[in-house]
Chains A and B, each alone.
Chain A
Amino acid sequence: MFSNFVNQFWPATVDGLSLGAIYALVALGYTMVYGVLRLINFAHSEIFMIGTVAALFTVTKIGVSAPLAGFSLLGMLVLLAVVSAVVSGGAAVVLEYVAYRPLRRRGASRLAALISAIGASLFLQQLFALTVIPRLFDRPQEGGRLPVQSPNWVERSDAISIGDFVVRNDKLLIVIAAVLMMLGLDQFVRRTKLGRGIRATAQDPETAVLMGVNIDRIVTATFAIGGAMAGVAAALYLMRFESTNYFVGFLLGIKAFTAAVLGGIGNLRGALVGGFLLGLIELYGSVLFGSEWRDVVAFSVLVLVLMFRPSGILGESLQRARA
């Protein structure tokens, strides 16, 4: 068992980090919306799914004839990230308008918003399975419930190779992109006017209104940013797996939400820490106990952490983030 751990340590670490990076980016959406509205946006997993579909559609339409490497791969990735960030961000804003804003206006309880979130999640999944995916990819025969593949567009090669420590280019890109996005977002929330508005609303919505903050605009911005992060995650996901399906957000959404809680929900840096940690625990757990124990190990660790630190590892929330 432990000899396995020794000789699979580096591959497991690399895969854990690249998986965790995607968790972290999706977790940002959960954590931001929670920080501002105290709402668990369960339909966020579908925002991610929409992003993967948008990226897949784009790469199919562009029609890549041979796998890309080097700068053309990077360029394609940036293009896909922009497209799916716009689509996912837009979808998140529409979601907020349709599923949450009417409830908020009428002062509905948070539980009602939660049910609305679950409803929206189911609605989007089935909508994509029944009409959007079959139409977008012209699959009247197979329907929308089977996975859709993109052409092979990623040339995979080893970017770093030092003895046992081998990192493939796509995995490296995922980790770098996630950390960069995270740093950018962190600075944005700390330094810009909109970021200050987000923090103010998270801290005390009523006082924020008195200080001239337009809450509706802040909420829209929060959903847009969270959605855009999920869109970037979707583009990275597509680079790694070159395939998606209508159900892709489900398990990944649960994991990302878990990562958000693990790091401290409402805390941006917590999402990154939680994501990387969850990815690593999953991979180390499967090396030690077998892949079927992957989720058992991950969730056991989550329970243990929450027992001793109920507010997550970093705990501190968006509202108290210092300027």
Chain B
Amino acid sequence: MRRAFPRGLVAAAAASALVLSACGNSDDNGGGGDSGGSQPASVKLGFMGDLTGENSGIVIPPKNGAQMAIDEYNATNPATKIELKTYDSQGVPEQATALAQQALNTDKIVGLIGPAFSGESQQVGPILEEGEIPSISASATNATLAEKGWKYWHRILPGDRIQGTGIGEFISRAFTAKKVFVIHDNQDYSKGIADFVTAALKDKGVTVETDVIDPKASDYSSTVNKVKPANADAIFYGGYYAQAGPLLKQLREAGVKTRFLSGDGSLDAGLAKGAGGTNADGAVVGCPCLVDPTGVSNEASKKFSEAYKAKYKTAPAIYSAEGYDAASAFIAAIKAGKTTPKDINTFLSTLDQPGVTKQIKFGPNGEPAGGDVFVYLFKGPNYTLLGNSKDAKVG
């Protein structure tokens, strides 16, 4: 199979071509923040994530949320205004590290919202740690990020361990499941969350069967053939909606009617689109994030949704409220007169104020203090909030 080797090169070349073609294009407003004096007239916050790439659909909403919080704050004519600088990492870790250096050394940001994804967070974390710049991510949920001992790193939503455990317990409670079929696609995130769900299910005495799909392939028939005779009470898929949709389609077409569940990677209208027809109806997806465009869960969420819709002419989407809360945490620090990165970081560790999605309060490892997981039900082309995984019921 010597001849097949060049195909490997193709993949490598494709990857490097992507990296090359994706040069950073953070918008330069050329604003010079005065840094003299005890109370500067303006400071810069950064927002880093995939703003133009493949997954920008789940990064633009938190960016909009953060921008909204900052605009609201600036409109009150405070002593220190905030300028939000965006860094488009395209989710590529190598690009993210270069942009982080730029943010630190050239732009002199006092805090960073992001990086959006876990992979880039792994690489950018040490740089921010060394530069002593506080960061709050609105969407990076990998469990290991909280275990690095970083002093300047925070996230506004709980990690995959909490999410996976929450979903696992939900499955055993809401569906009184005795047997669950867990599928994942072997990517870092997917396997991680599938493992946490499996562990939680086994804790509750549920039997678990597993299979793995190849995210690059389109034929999942071997997995479907295994699920069919298993007669499970529920299926959990760990992974992203780009694969979850076709998998669900193939399961339903093979006559498997078992309840389908997934995690935050699949919380997108793309799941229903990929599954086709009404195949996604009844699918339940868990997420540590609160997506509540109609504002049914609480008053703050309702107010936020209305303001967001008025500003962006579209309903809040995944992580937009988290982006808003992350920015609010920084704003609270700056309001309190903390304008250096170090002071802000110290302030964040003592912060305890209500936000849109939860009480904003960080533990010593940077994880949020509250660990709620929400569940969503798919119906038609989109999903709606069912409630907290601890007490939500599926009709």
Contact = CB atoms under 8 A, between A and B. Distances in A.
Interface stretch (B199-207, B216-224, B337-345, B361-369): B216-224
B229 A282 contact: no
A251 B216 contact: yes
Interface string B32-69: 00000000000000000000001001000000000000
Contact of B225 (A15, A126, A250): A15
Contacts of B225: 8, 11-12, 15, 283, 287
**Top 4 A-B residue pairs of the complex, sorted by shortest distance between their CB atoms:** A286-B222, A15-B221, A292-B212, A11-B225
Given A147-B246, A147-B274, A254-B4, A122 B211 contact: no
Interface in A266-318: 282-283, 286-287, 290-292, 294-295, 299, 302-303, 306
B296 interface: no
Given A243-B246, A247-B216, A291-B213, A156 B229 contact: no
B6 A118 contact: yes
B188 interface: no
Contacts of A254: 4, 7
Interface in A165-190: 168
A240 B277 CA distance: 15
Interface in A120-137: 121-122, 125-126
Interface stretch (B10-18, B72-80, B352-360, B370-378): B10-18
Given A149-B273, A152-B276, A261-B1, 17 more contacts: A12-B222, A118-B9, A126-B17, A143-B54, A146-B242, A149-B276, A152-B277, A241-B246, A242-B249, A250-B10, A251-B214, A254-B7, A257-B4, A286-B223, A287-B222, A287-B226, A290-B211
A146 B217 CA distance: 14
B223 A291 contact: yes
B246 A146 contact: no
Nearest to B241: A146
Nearest to B11: A250
Interface string B1-33: 101101101110110010000000000000000
A319 B14 CA distance: 36
B297 interface: no
A248 B10 contact: no
A251 B1 contact: no
Contacts of A152: 276-277
A233 interface: no
A295 B274 CA distance: 25
B253 interface: yes
29 contacts: A4-B226, A8-B225, A11-B225, A11-B228, A19-B219, A19-B221, A114-B6, A118-B6, A142-B57, A146-B270, A147-B242, A147-B245, A149-B276, A168-B253, A168-B254, A243-B249, A247-B216, A250-B216, A252-B218, A254-B7, A258-B1, A283-B222, A286-B226, A287-B226, A291-B211, A294-B214, A294-B222, A299-B1, A303-B1
Contacts of B274: 147, 149, 243
Interface of chain B, main secondary structure: helix
A223 interface: no
B101 interface: no
B221 A283 contact: yes
A4 B274 CA distance: 30
Interface of chain A, main secondary structure: helix
Interface residues of A, number: 53
A126 B14 CA distance: 9
Given A143-B54, A291-B213, A243 B1 contact: no
B179 to A, nearest CB: 16
A250 B57 CA distance: 25
A110 to B, nearest CB: 11
Contacts of B17: 122, 126
A241 B54 contact: no
A282 B226 CA distance: 14
Contacts of B7: 42, 253-254
A170 B301 CA distance: 47
B382 interface: no
A64 B4 CA distance: 40
A98 B79 CA distance: 64
B210 to A, nearest CB: 8
A211 B229 CA distance: 62
A7 interface: yes
Contacts of B211: 290-292
Contact of A295 (B14, B214, B273, B277): B214
Interface in B270-307: 270, 273-274, 276-277
A162 B169 CA distance: 41
B13 A118 contact: yes
A294 to B, nearest CB: 6
Contact of B54 (A146, A237, A261): A146
Contacts of A292: 186, 211-212, 214
A291 B222 contact: yes
Contacts of B213: 291
A11 B228 CA distance: 10
Contacts of A295: 214
